[in-house]
Structure 1
Amino acid sequence: MLDDLDRRLLRYWQAEPSLSPGELAQRCGMTAGKAGRRIARMEEEGIIQGLGRDVNWSALGYAVEVSLRVTLDKTQGNAFDVFLAEARQVPEVIEIQTFLGRVDVRLSVIARDMAHYQQIYRARILTLPHIADIEALMHVARIKADEVLPL
């Protein structure tokens, strides 16, 4: 379980992800070795996952984001697995989430413009297997995109 030092490391890291392990250790009042061991342990335990950078898709020319709510035809026993495997192959699908309830899957799709989205939708999305129903929600604004936890 996390102790106060672990939570302190995570709080500083969440607030400023660009901190090096040495800078992080200094801010937390511990040695770099101790901070490094704690970070390694949290990575091994799956508390810290990946240290990648977010990509600003709009800066690369992707101005449209659409959220697709998909209900699958579950009469086939492997509908989820087959659908998810093929959806992963669509490069413009940047996120896939599964749910319990009326909606089974949500896909986040990016495109350069509406014409490009229509092309992706017709050629790549509608051809995915086992779709019973699909609803598109046009992304207007991202109000909060924060994964910082209250540690």
Structure 2
Amino acid sequence: MTLDDLDRAILIALQKDAGQSTTRLADKLGLSQPATWRRIRRLQGAGVITGRRLLVDADKAGFGVTVFLGVKLAMKGRVSLADFERAVDAIPEVQTVDHVLGLYDYRLRVVARDLADFERVLRRRIMTLPGVGDVEANVLLSEERRPGPLGA
């Protein structure tokens, strides 16, 4: 699918506020509401827009620690990647699971109430996952929102 300037403007606006009405979005873009709605539906149908998310401030929700874990599987031959992914998906503190190329096989984003809670999650849940070998933890100190590829 080829995106034109209006498609990009819609994507940028929806990245900033996915909950805005098509009428409000249409007013911002100088389009009619039906034309805006049709473009959004076309972007969804083509898989360019794959969903909408609610962003929760982890700190305000009681999760003051975010840790990025690099996980290297110890037994790639015995444990399939799917087995690891299925097991890690069952841990609610794990927000994202990225299969990556490099020193580690996976990068996990883990939230916890505090460092003691993170240690509990690490020892009891993550280190017991099938095939886990080396793990490297990086505690998030601060996070800045960077614009996406569309400049949002």
Q: CA deviation at 1:89?
A: 0.3
Distance 1:148 1:88 in 2: 28
Whichever residue aligns with residue 40 of structure 1, its letter is R
Counterpart secondary structure, 2:43: helix
Residue in 1 aligned with 2:89? 88
TM-score, L = length of structure 1: 0.90
**1:123 — aligned with what?**
124
Question: What SS does the corresponding residue of 1:57 show, helix, strand or coil?
Answer: coil
After TM superposition, give the deviation of residue 11 of structure 1 in Å.
2.9
Cα contact 1:71–1:132 (8 A) shared by 2: yes
Looking at structure 2, the residues matched to 44 and 71 of structure 1 have their Cα atoms a distance apart, in angstroms, of 37
Structure 1 position 37 matched with structure 2 position 38: yes
Contact 1:14 1:148 in 2 (8 A): no
Question: 1:77 deviation in Å?
Answer: 5.6
- Cα separation, 2, equivalents of 1:113 and 1:59: 13
SS at match of 1:133: strand
CA RMSD after TM alignment: 1.8
Greater than 4 Å deviation, 4+ residue runs: none
Give runs of aligned pairs for residues 74-85 of structure 1, distance below 5 A: 74-76=75-77, 78-85=79-86
Counterpart residue number, 2:7: 6
SS in 1 for 2:96: strand
Following TM superposition, by how much is the alpha carbon of 1:68 offset from its aligned partner in structure 2, in angstroms?
0.7
Q: Which residue of 2 aligns with 1:72?
A: 73
Which stretch of structure 1 is more off in the superposition, 43-52 or 74-83?
A: 74-83
Local SS of the residue matching 2:59: helix
Normalised to the residue count of structure 2, the TM-score between the two structures is 0.89
Q: How many residues align?
A: 151
Q: Structure 1 unaligned runs (5+)?
A: none
Which residue number corresponds to residue 102 of structure 2? Answer: 101
Partner of 2:114: 113
After superposition, the Cα gap between the structure-2 partners of 1:141 and 1:95, relative to the gap in structure 1 and judged at 3 Å, is same
Rounded Cα–Cα distance in structure 1 between residues aligned with 2:110 and 2:12:
31
Report the residue type matching 2:105 in the other structure. D
**Alignment deviations for residues 71-91 of structure 1 (CA, whole Å, 9 cap, x no partner):** 112442652111111000001
What SS does structure 2 have at the residue aligned with 1:137? strand
Contact 1:72–1:79 under 8 Å retained in 2: no
The AA in structure 1 aligned to 2:58 is W
Aligned residues of 2:67 and 2:140 also touching (Cα < 8 A): yes
Instruction: Give the Cα–Cα distance (whole angstroms) in 2 for the partners of residues 91 and 124 of structure 1.
Output: 10
- Classify the secondary structure of the residue corresponding to 1:90: coil
- Which shows bigger deviation, 72-81 or 129-138? 72-81
